[in-house]
Amino acid sequence: MNIELQCCALFIIISISVMFLREKKLDLMNRRLFFRAICACFVCLIFDILSIILINLTVHHGFDPFITRLVCRIYIMLLVLQGYFGYVYASTSLLPRDQTWAKWVRIISHSIFGTGEFLMLVLPIGYEAYGRVVYSYGPSTYVAYILSAIYILSTIVTVIAYRKDMPGRRIVAMLLWQGIWLLAAAIQFVKPDLLLVGFASSFGMVILYIQLENPSEFFDGSTGLFTTNALSAYVRDKYKFGKRFSMFTAKIHYLTNYVDYAMEQAAVMRTSRALIALGPEPAFRIDDDTFCVVYDDRERMFERAANIKKQKDGVTDLPAKGTYLLIPDSLELNGPDEFFHFLHTYLESEQEITVADEGLIRKLRDQNRIKELINDALNEDRVEVFYQPFYNVKEDRFNVAEALVRIRRENGDIVPPGEFIPVAEENGQIIPLGIRVFEKVCRFLSGGEAQKLGLEQIEINVSAAQFDFENPASFIFDNIEKYQVDPRSINIEITETAAAKNHEIMIRNMNRLIDRGVTFSLDDFGTGRSNIDYFVNMPVKIIKFDNSFTKGFFDNEKTKHVLTGMMDILHKMDMSIVAEGIETKEQVDAMEDLGVEFIQGFYFSRPVPEKDFLAFLRSRNQLSSS
């Protein structure tokens, strides 16, 4: 009998099933559908082998033809079921759940399958056997051929149509699976003695298992926990099918910089064992020192999180503490993208316990809204530069100004800088914003009108992130050359706290610019925590006293003494001083008496647009534009 290939295929399917059932796995929809396809393939192979045996017995030994026809019908019905499960496996994760047309596609596919199964059950079927050629025929089998072709082609079309939404190896695996099956059916149709369909289907299962359902990439062998990839797949699956879940995340914070490998491994293994002991819910290692567990019930999540915290509080032999992020209801977040953005944003929180409540989620959405606002402003050129003049005490005029970034909404309103600058600094948008401001300042200076009105220099805030690599100054040199700007008219402000982060690289890059004529000032002086050695070696010409520092001069006697002493030191170092935040005549007089070179504040002018700034210079410097 011609059942050798079917027996080999059956052995393959049994082997895959055993491995699949024994492995540690996540409850994902794709894995449930894959197991359903394995079961259909297994039963189909059983009936394929049985139908061949019964056809031979009936033709050559007079076995009951009714039973043989029944088994042949069941076999072709299972063959179509296998093709249908293949289509469902491919389409379930791709077709949208909430669109009407996709719902109709599912209804139609179900209807076609049900109608086809009924027709195969009632239409006539025959069989034949001579030599090694064994096959069934008749209207019932024709329906099976047509439906199998429909589902194979539908699967291929679906995969190709949604190829942009799938990783490359999934596309290849799905197309190979269906393509091999289609090719085997075509060969068997031409050469009936080559019964390849059953073997081809089992071989396709092997491809899917190795490429898509193999758990190795989802499993962290050192801890026995699932990986970050597994968490991503799990969360996306939950949101895809609208299933609510809760999660708590625990992060280890070491209390010393001297953490050796053994100590770190001890903390990691102790944490992983504690998480596994909590119960059957999936636990994940999502970073070297960050772990999480996902629950279907929020009360159980709170209970288990409290248990882990209690265990951690009882640990005294490791110099570490834990911080915890709890997400009680996943559906409070709009989807996997917002979920992972929330996770990324608040995992580094210094609070011991952070709960994803309504206020925290609203804050995250506000930040996302501002991020989109910044992107739109950059793309639509709604980034503007406002200028705030400095009063030169010795020369009694305004010859320096600070360039400040502003964003204008589509309706013309100005977005307050305190609303968008912290967000831009956090997500890296401060870099393109700084480059755009620098270009606009160079364009402004290239016109020459401000210089005619007495302006000699503009201070520009450049993000410290620009100085995190070896040659950050290309955009500065490019714009200076493009607009033919005198480098001496550019002063770059560096904040004290930012400069301390990458001090050596920053000094090297500052010197590159200084060699070309650009000068630097140290902004927000008084808010950092730098030491004397660090400060003395900064190649700056101007020191800007922070707003809170200058205000403290008038409110606190100790601050007054500190400020007076610092000014004496700075003047001996041949540095000029800018006092920020000056709002009254009394404050102006006090700063002049102290010997401050420049005064900046609302007393003279708020930051104003370019046109208003030129009008201010024309009025206050008493120069004509000629």
User: Which pair of structure tokens corresponds to residue 600?
Assistant: 């900046």
pLDDT confidence of 12, banded at 50, 70, 90? confident
Rounded Cα gap, residues 315 and 538, in angstroms? 45
Read off the pLDDT of residues 565-595 as tens digits, 9 standing for 90 and up: 888 888 888 889 999 989 999 999 989 988 8
The CATH number for 377-620, chosen from 3.40.50.300, 3.20.20.450, 3.10.20.30, 3.50.50.60, is: 3.20.20.450
Query: Taking the CB of residue 478, how many other CB atoms lie within 10 A of it?
Result: 14
Rounded Cα gap, residues 393 and 189, in angstroms? 97
Q: Is 142's pLDDT higher than 80?
A: yes
Burial string for 316-341 (b: 16+ CB within 10 Å, else e) reads eebebebbbbbbbebebbeebebbbb
Q: Which has more confidence, 453 or 321?
A: 453
Rounded Cα gap, residues 238 and 221, in angstroms? 25
pLDDT confidence of 129, banded at 50, 70, 90? confident
Query: 498 and 521 in contact (C-beta within 8 Å)?
Result: no
Query: Taking the CB of residue 592, how many other CB atoms lie within 10 A of it?
Result: 15
Nearest to 280 by CA among 291, 299, 293, 298: 293
Rounded Cα gap, residues 62 and 59, in angstroms? 6
Query: Taking the CB of residue 182, how many other CB atoms lie within 10 A of it?
Result: 19
For residue 455, the cross-strand partners are none
Considering 306-315, 340-349, 384-393, 486-495, the range whose residues carry the highest mean pLDDT is 384-393
Q: What pLDDT score does 600 carry?
A: 94
Nearest to 112 by CA among 87, 91, 137, 136: 87
Amino acid letter for position 598: F
Query: 355 and 328 in contact (C-beta within 8 Å)?
Result: yes
Residues with Cβ within 8 Å of 428's Cβ and at least 6 positions away in sequence, in order, are 465
pLDDT confidence of 347, banded at 50, 70, 90? confident
The pLDDT mean for the chain works out to 85
The CATH number for 4-213, chosen from 1.20.1560.10, 1.10.357.10, 2.60.40.60, 1.20.1070.10, is: 1.20.1070.10
Q: Which has more confidence, 1 or 40?
A: 40
Read off the pLDDT of residues 96-124 as tens digits, 9 standing for 90 and up: 877 888 889 889 999 999 999 999 999 99
User: Which pair of structure tokens corresponds to residue 50?
Assistant: 């049985």
Q: What pLDDT score does 455 carry?
A: 94
Q: What are phi and psi of 179, to 5 degrees?
A: -65, -40
3-class secondary-structure state, position 249? strand
Pairing mode of beta strands 290-295, 246-254: antiparallel
Q: Is 191's pLDDT higher than 80?
A: no
Q: What percent of the chain has pLDDT over 90?
A: 36
> If you write DSSP's letter for every residue of 40-84 in order, what string do you get?
HHHHHHHHHHHHHHHHHHHHHH---HHHHHHHHHHHHHHHHHHHH
Q: What pLDDT score does 26 carry?
A: 81
Rounded Cα gap, residues 606 and 298, in angstroms? 51
Q: What pLDDT score does 486 carry?
A: 94
Q: Is 145's pLDDT higher than 50?
A: yes
Nearest to 139 by CA among 122, 158, 164, 153: 122
Cα distances (Å, whole numbers) of residue 397 to 131, 348, 450, 591, 598 = 110, 48, 13, 16, 10
Q: Is 553's pLDDT higher than 70?
A: yes
Would the CATH topology of 217-356 be identical to that of 377-620?
A: no
Which of 164-178, 335-349, 383-397 is predicted least confidently?
A: 164-178
Composition of the chain by helix, strand, coil, percent to 5: 60, 15, 25
- Burial classification of residue 410, based on how many CB atoms lie within 10 Å of its CB (0-12 exposed, 13-18 middle, 19 or more buried): exposed
Average confidence (pLDDT) over 404-430: 90
Query: Taking the CB of residue 113, how many other CB atoms lie within 10 A of it?
Result: 20
> If you write DSSP's letter for every residue of 355-413 in order, what string do you get?
E--HHHHHHHHHHHHHHHHHHHHHHTT-EEEEEEEEEETTTTEEEEEEEEEEEE-TTSP
Average confidence (pLDDT) over 307-326: 82
Q: What pLDDT score does 529 carry?
A: 46
Q: What pLDDT score does 483 carry?
A: 94
CATH domain 217-356 topology: Alpha-Beta Plaits (3.30.70)
Q: What pLDDT score does 626 carry?
A: 41
Domain ranges of the chain: 4-213, 217-356, 377-620
Q: Which has more confidence, 235 or 469?
A: 235
Q: What pLDDT score does 438 carry?
A: 93
Q: Is 559's pLDDT higher than 70?
A: yes
Q: Which has more confidence, 307 or 530?
A: 307
